[in-house]
Each structure stands twice: as C-alpha cells, then as structure tokens.
C-alpha cells in the first residue's frame, strides 16, 4: 500500500518552497482547492452484498481509447520543473500502469517526444485555443500525426488566469532555460515571466461557442471540452460538436469559491443525458473517489496532484506506483460494493441518489 498523503510530504522535501507552492497552490483564498477533495469525502457509498465480486476488472474504454482503469493522468504544465525526466517520465510511468496520460500543450518536452516515450500506450493531447488559429490547427495536426487518440480543449483558463496569491507572494517566475517545447520557446536569462504571463500573450480571451465549433471541425480526433461546471454549458458544448465533457474547476486554480467538481458532476451528467461521455477531475485522491464518480455517472476521472508527487519523488516508477495504488483501491472498493465491472457501477451505490 502507498500512502499518498505521506508521498506529498516527501515531495515537498524535494522541492523548493516556491516550486511546491506552484504545483500545490490554488487561487486566492484556496477555498475551492480545499473543497475539491472534501466534496468527494462527503459522498457516501451504499454497498451491495451477496453478489459474486470475486474477480473485479477496472478495464474500460472511453471514446475508443482502451484503458486498464478509468483513471487518467490529467494535463499539467512544466513537468520538467518537477523532475528531470519531465513529461516522458510521466508517460513511461502511466504506460507501465496501463493508464492514459493527457499531455499538456505547455510541456517541457514536445508532444512527439512524449509519444515516443509512451511507446504505443494511448495518449490524449490537451490544447488551448490560441489567438493565432494557424498555431492551434498545427498542434492538432501534430497530435494526430503522433498517434494521440483524442484532444482536450481547456476552456476555463479564459478570459483571464486565476489570481494565485501564493505565487505572487513568492514572486514565482519560470527558471531560465525552461523549455516550452511545443512552441519552440526557451525562457531567456533575466526574464521575470510567470507561467500565466507567457500564456497570456498566446491565449484568445474572446473564445465563444463558435470557436469551439471551429476546433471540433478542425480536429479529426474526438474533441473533449475541459473546464465545464454549469450543465447549460455542457449541453451547449455537446451541441457545438464536443465528443466529451470534463467537469473541472482547473484544480481550484481559477475562480476561487466555484463549486467543487464532485458537487457539479450530477447535474452535468443529467444534462448531457448519455449523449457523450462525461469525465471529472479535481480532488480525486483515492480509488474510492473514482468509484463514487463512476456511480454518479462519470465515464472516468483524471488525477493530477498525486501523480505530481510520485514524479517528484521517484520519477517514472513513482508515477506508476501512484496509479497502481489508485487502481488497487478502486478494485477493492468495487469488490466491497458488489460490482465486478466498471459498467456495473451505477447511482444505486450512492447514498441519496438511489433510483435517480
């Protein structure tokens, strides 16, 4: 068994205080950051007994991507600042665990290098809609050519980035020489630029549903919209052509005081009504949290911070260990709930939602 809370403490010892705050912190008073994991803890399961759950499988498929578990590595930027192996190490660890990695656009390794490191294991690619549409289209073409299975368009970092008090207090800036490989950019000497400062010059703050329609038409891969909390937005995104929805508040790093994703999930699932798969991230810290998400109606969950701590402490083997621990916890919870397959997990297992 791997103690994920202790792993974070160990990771903190490996990082400078400023770098830890960058990975761990959230927006403003960090209310949403704290509420994300608490919201999953508030949900109670209603296990079934006297069912044959001697053999449990967490295998599933989402948008044509086979998965050994419905737990994906969510996208996060600048992984080379967490460990010298960076994104390729995360990809290797995810592949070893049988998990799908969603690769960030703002990576310290190119999307092609990450794909090579994954050695055939399925990957998804996260992107933003850039002011220069040609750059966006080129990223989508590169992802397809490199063998990615789906693309994920993040929409909740617009129109402005979150106010990160921890980083402001630390005066955090990207270290000289930091690579933003997909844009061919290297942070120069004596440039006091934070991550959001660089992105602000690239992102289109005026994105609308019409732009989402353009991106869906431009991509030949299934396009998943990440950053939905309001069920009306979920319906609008599906009608604009989205192949999937990720319920997300950007890990509590954008609008502080926004709803926790566990609380937002039921209404989004109901509004989408099975037309496309709904995934969720934010505060998932255990395999039992994943079972709760599936019971509400999610097709899969995305996990970031526990993976960060695994990468910081042990590189690729640390990522693998975190994901395998989450998968083992999930299988254990499924067995105790009397379900053998992911498709058997339904709302009857969630207290207060029986028959919903």
Report the percentage of the chain scoring pLDDT > 90: 82
pLDDT (tens digit per residue) in 281-315: 999 999 999 999 999 999 999 999 999 999 999 99
Measured CA to CA, the distance from residue 295 to residue 57 in angstroms comes to: 16
Going by their DSSP bridges, the two strands 185-186 and 223-228 should be labelled as unpaired
**β-sheet bridge partners, residue 203:** 130
What residues act catalytically? 250
Q: Which of 260, 250, 247 is nearest to 156 (CA)?
A: 250
Query: What would the two tokens of residue 174 be?
Result: 């990207």
pLDDT (tens digit per residue) in 23-38: 999 999 999 999 999 9
Confidence of residue 355 (pLDDT cuts 50, 70, 90): very low
DSSP summary character for residue 77? S
Query: According to the model, what pLDDT value does residue 169 have?
Result: 55
Confidence of residue 168 (pLDDT cuts 50, 70, 90): low
Which domains are assigned to the chain?
4-349 (3.20.20.70)
Q: Which of 232, 253, 258, 248 is nearest to 280 (CA)?
A: 248
Q: Which of 180, 205, 207, 206 is nearest to 195 (CA)?
A: 180
The answer to whether residue 142 scores a pLDDT higher than 80 is: yes
Radius of gyration of the chain measured on its C-alpha atoms: 19
Measured CA to CA, the distance from residue 53 to residue 200 in angstroms comes to: 50
Cα separations in angstroms, 253 against 44, 98, 250, 260: 26, 28, 5, 12
Higher pLDDT: 105 or 197? It is 105
Measured CA to CA, the distance from residue 10 to residue 250 in angstroms comes to: 24
Query: According to the model, what pLDDT value does residue 157 have?
Result: 86
Average pLDDT, the chain: 93
Query: According to the model, what pLDDT value does residue 158 have?
Result: 78
pLDDT (tens digit per residue) in 75-134: 999 999 999 999 999 999 999 999 999 999 999 999 999 999 999 999 999 999 998 999
Confidence of residue 204 (pLDDT cuts 50, 70, 90): confident
Question: Ramachandran region of residue 351, left (φ > 0), alpha (ψ -120 to 50) or beta?
Answer: beta
The answer to whether residue 201 scores a pLDDT higher than 90 is: no
Query: According to the model, what pLDDT value does residue 102 have?
Result: 98
Read off the pTM. 0.94
pLDDT (tens digit per residue) in 237-294: 999 999 999 999 999 999 999 999 999 999 999 999 999 999 999 999 999 999 999 9
The answer to whether residue 349 scores a pLDDT higher than 70 is: yes
Report the percentage of the chain scoring pLDDT > 70: 95
Cα separations in angstroms, 74 against 70, 136, 246, 248, 283: 12, 20, 10, 11, 12
Going by their DSSP bridges, the two strands 179-180 and 150-154 should be labelled as unpaired
CB 202 within 8 A of CB 180: no
Measured CA to CA, the distance from residue 257 to residue 339 in angstroms comes to: 35
Query: What would the two tokens of residue 343 be?
Result: 């498709």
Confidence of residue 197 (pLDDT cuts 50, 70, 90): low
pLDDT (tens digit per residue) in 325-335: 999 999 999 99
Q: How many other C-beta atoms lie within 10 A of the C-beta of residue 176?
A: 11
Query: What would the two tokens of residue 168 be?
Result: 């402001």
Query: According to the model, what pLDDT value does residue 354 have?
Result: 45
Mean pLDDT of 167-185: 76
Higher pLDDT: 354 or 219? It is 219
């Amino acid at each position: 068994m791997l103690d994920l809370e202790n792993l974070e403490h160990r990771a903190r010892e490996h990082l400078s205080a400023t770098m830890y705050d960058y990975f761990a912190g959230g927006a403003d008073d960090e209310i949403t950051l704290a509420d994300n994991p608490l919201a999953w803890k508030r949900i109670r399961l209603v296990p079934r007994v006297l069912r044959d759950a001697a053999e449990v499988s967490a295998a599933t498929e989402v948008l044509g991507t086979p998965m050994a578990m419905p737990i994906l590595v969510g996208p996060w930027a600048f992984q080379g600042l967490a460990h010298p192996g960076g994104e390729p190490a995360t990809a290797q660890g995810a592949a070893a665990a049988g998990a799908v990695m969603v690769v960030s656009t703002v990576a310290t390794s190119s999307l092609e290098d990450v794909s090579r490191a994954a050695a055939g294991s399925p990957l998804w690619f996260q992107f933003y809609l850039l002011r220069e549409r040609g750059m966006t289209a080129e990223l989508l073409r590169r992802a397809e050519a490199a063998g990615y299975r789906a693309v994920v368009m993040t929409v909740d970092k617009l129109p402005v980035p979150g106010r990160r008090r921890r980083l402001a207090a630390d005066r955090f800036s990207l270290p000289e020489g930091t690579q933003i490989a997909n844009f061919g950019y290297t942070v120069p000497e004596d440039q006091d630029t934070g991550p959001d400062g660089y992105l602000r010059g690239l992102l289109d703050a005026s994105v609308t549903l019409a732009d989402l329609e353009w991106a869906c038409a431009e991509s030949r891969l299934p396009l998943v919209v990440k950053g939905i909390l309001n069920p009306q937005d979920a319906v609008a995104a599906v009608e604009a052509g989205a192949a999937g929805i990720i319920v997300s508040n950007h890990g509590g790093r954008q609008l502080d005081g926004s709803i926790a994703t566990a609380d937002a999930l039921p209404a989004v699932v109901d509004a989408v009504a099975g037309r496309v798969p709904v995934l969720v991230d934010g505060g998932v810290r255990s395999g039992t949290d994943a079972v709760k998400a599936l019971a509400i109606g999610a097709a899969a969950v995305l996990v970031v911070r526990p993976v960060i701590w695994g990468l910081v402490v042990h590189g690729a083997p640390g990522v693998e260990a975190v994901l395998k621990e989450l998968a083992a916890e999930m299988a254990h919870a499924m067995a105790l709930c009397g379900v053998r397959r992911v498709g058997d997990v339904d709302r009857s297992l969630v207290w207060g939602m029986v028959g919903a």
